[in-house]
Structure 1
Amino acid sequence: MTRSLYADLAGSGEIIEVLSDEAFLGNLLRVEKALAQGAVAQETVESYVLNVEDLSRRAAAGGNPVIPLVADLKAINPEGIHPGATSQDIIDSAIMMCLRDVTGEIIGKLEGLAQDLAELTSTHKETPIMGRTLGQIATATTFGAITGGWLVAVLNAKQKLENLEFPVSYGGASGNMAAVYPHGWEIQSQLAQKLYLKDPGWVWHSDRTPITDIAAALATASGVVRKIAGDVVFYSQTEVGELREKSPGGSSAMPHKANPAAAIACDGYARRAPGLLATLFDALDCRLQRGVGSWHAEWVTARELAAVTHAAVSRASTSINGIIVNVEVMASRTSGEAGHAVEIAERALQIFEREK
């Protein structure tokens, strides 16, 4: 399954290159190259031409794409290929490379969103607006206090992503490095260095928490921006009219409309994250030394979760960037003092400066 062009361009096109089947299968080849022993084996991997469709079709017979890949490489030259490894080592490491690369992209998007939110918070820390709780008018606050809350949540989500580790996998057939004893830990360390992955110092074949740690951080980022998008949609309603996106969407049937299209798209992408996360948590049921179906379910699901998170964050950033604030309408609905709202906005800005 090559990634959907529409879905990826709606986020931004660069993730096609890091989450596609071409990228995933290409990473399998990169892992094999890093493992290859000797000049002949290196030349074999370098000369191999990856055919994504052919390899994908042949993968069905053995349940994973590494089996036909290794067969192709060994047909060229059987020496020094796939030493001491099993399919899971190659696939897990390749997934980690995909997730590492897209997480860096998401962090960059969150940084831009945080900067825009900080500017909104600074500009509107004293702008009065009615607070709403449980769908009803509550007490007065400031728009800067509201955006400050969004800002801190974005910073927290970004920090969770920045703290992630992407471990290499190298355990062999039963996850005990038996085929390369006593050199397994050394090989794992070298492999991690070559692939720019973390050396975990252990074998995680049947412990899938490295996957769920990443998945939880991705889903958190999706949820954080979905909350912002939902608020923007409310404030942009005709009857409310307190916000308007810089480039609102139109309607094919109603030319008078100015839809908060970017916020709506963000909501649509982020809405898929909880289900994908649930699938990955279900895959923690990895039986014995290799999961039966649970492991296989991770390959597309983890990449899809990363894709929808990237798209959601990208659309949230587009929604907030240059958003128009109708301060007169906001003020017209308020009465009374906003209390500590200005202080709350200032505290959010202090947290932003500290995190920069």
Structure 2
Amino acid sequence: MSEQPDLARTLYSDHAGGATDAHVHLSDRAFLDAICEFERALADAAEATGHITPEAAEAARTAIDDYSCDVAAIGSASAAGGNPTIPMVAELKAATRDAAGIHVGATSQDAIDTALVLCTRRAVAALDDELRDVEKLLNDLARTHRDTPVMGRTLGQQALPTTFGVIAAGWLEGVHAPADQLRRTAAALPVQYAGATGNLAATHPRGIEIHDRLAADLGLAERPLVWHTNRQPLVAVGLAAAQLAGAVRKIAGDITASSATEIAELSEASPGGSSSMPHKANPAAAVACDGYARRTPGLAATLLDALDCRWQRGTGSWHAEWQTLRDLLAATASAVSRIHASLDGLRVHTDTMASRVSEPTTGHAGDITDITLEGIDDE
């Protein structure tokens, strides 16, 4: 049996991206396991509020804990009802002596949305460790090269001198804002529990109490109270991830261009080779970062398109989110991992940079670097 983690995308998309700490939370198995986690927490909340008996809750917990989810089988069974919750709940109810504690007052979207939220928050938390390392590497580059002269380039041509420190500080500033936004939007993701048409009718008069207890038990926000057709919480996370991918792609593009043989001002510590040209030292990590990040705008556009969620349940728009958001987060995580590899040990050829600066006047470049870093540190 393979010891590789259970991932959902191709070998290249996940394993070749470097770290897969975020990706393990985005697989189909992680998604289905999170549906079970929702169902178990719902049984606990319904018991705690007195909506179901302790016996029904215990029967539900036993069935869920003993449940072995066959991803392929659930995928096939999902075709009939259009989502995986329906066959999973049917199997759980069939496995328990008292089905009253299974899927209490919930609808399929409650389980799927909450599962997607749990997967998203865990993936972002895993990504954050590497992301903070990237920010530190950029901070170190900016401080180290505060006064390192380099020729600035605008519109593809040499312009006037600047410093590599201010360039690195600009990279950091570009990454820091969407990284912070991604953390905040992921932390704000809410529980979904509102029943068939979003009014908690099936658990009246304890519905809101169950909802809030479920949110607390899962560590999720309580508001918005129901967001079956308000997809803004997930879109906010997806857009932040896409912006972050764009920010690291900008760095990757600069590194790739500055590593060109004719420029040779930067080079990766562990460049990639060529299958046919042994003389090449490709900035392979930066190139891969660019490739992963390029996928994210289209995925983000799909999430924006899914905001058209009709009536009380989306007709296809909701379904489009499940894989899209996970793919978007996975592509972003791979882009961050590859830019981390590119920056770690990045070789800055200061002599080459200086040789192209005929007049090493850099104005307030050092001051700009300091102010930029101080502003980020203050946050």
Deviation of 1:202 (Å): 1.5
8 Å CA contact 1:109–1:314 kept in 2: the answer is yes
Q: Which range moved further: 228-237 or 329-338?
A: 329-338
8 Å CA contact 1:128–1:331 kept in 2: the answer is yes
Q: Which range moved further: 327-336 or 255-264?
A: 327-336
> Over aligned residue pairs, what C-alpha RMSD do you find?
1.2
Deviation of 1:160 (Å): 0.6
8 Å CA contact 1:105–1:310 kept in 2: the answer is no
CA displacement, residues 305-332 of structure 1 (integer Å, 9 cap, x when unaligned): 0000000011011101110001011111
**Match status 1:41 vs 2:65:** no
Query: Which consecutive residues of structure 2, in runs of 5 or more, have no partner in the other structure?
Result: 1-6, 48-56
Provide runs of 4+ in structure 1 moved above 4 Å: none
Q: Which range moved further: 157-166 or 115-124?
A: 157-166
Q: Which range moved further: 241-250 or 11-20?
A: 11-20
Q: Which residue of 2 aligns with 1:183?
A: 206
CA displacement, residues 229-285 of structure 1 (integer Å, 9 cap, x when unaligned): 000001000011000000000000000000000000000000000000000000000
Superposed, which structure 2 residues align to 1:267-346 within 5 Å? 267-336=290-359, 337-346=361-370
Deviation of 1:353 (Å): 2.7
Deviation of 1:352 (Å): 3.7
Q: Which residue of 1 aligns with 2:71?
A: 52
Q: Which residue of 2 aligns with 1:248?
A: 271
Q: Which residue of 2 aligns with 1:90?
A: 111
Deviation of 1:158 (Å): 1.7
Distance in 2 (CA, whole Å) between partners of 1:313 and 1:16 is 12
8 Å CA contact 2:248–2:336 kept in 1: the answer is yes
Q: Which range moved further: 179-188 or 79-88?
A: 179-188
Amino acid in the other structure paired with 2:106: A
Q: Which residue of 1 aligns with 2:50?
A: none
Q: Measured at CA, do residues 159 and 106 of structure 1 come closer, stay the same or move farther in structure 2, by a change above 3 Å?
A: same
Q: Which residue of 2 aligns with 1:26?
A: 33
Distance in 1 (CA, whole Å) between partners of 2:266 and 2:204 is 64
Deviation of 1:201 (Å): 4.6
Distance in 1 (CA, whole Å) between partners of 2:236 and 2:191 is 15
Report the 3-state secondary structure (helix = DSSP H, G, I; strand = E; otherwise coil) of the residue aligned with 1:163: helix
8 Å CA contact 2:22–2:127 kept in 1: the answer is no
Distance in 2 (CA, whole Å) between partners of 1:13 and 1:216 is 21
Distance in 2 (CA, whole Å) between partners of 1:275 and 1:206 is 22
CA displacement, residues 149-202 of structure 1 (integer Å, 9 cap, x when unaligned): 011112112211121111110110001111112222211111112222211152
Structure 1 length as normaliser, TM-score?
0.97
8 Å CA contact 2:190–2:224 kept in 1: the answer is no
Q: Which range moved further: 279-288 or 187-196?
A: 187-196
Deviation of 1:72 (Å): 0.5
Structure 2 length as normaliser, TM-score?
0.91
**Match status 1:66 vs 2:66:** no
Deviation of 1:106 (Å): 2.1
**Match status 1:159 vs 2:180:** yes
**Matched residue count:** 355
Distance in 2 (CA, whole Å) between partners of 1:162 and 1:13 is 18
Distance in 1 (CA, whole Å) between partners of 2:71 and 2:319 is 18
Distance in 2 (CA, whole Å) between partners of 1:57 and 1:15 is 26
Q: Which residue of 2 aligns with 1:118?
A: 139
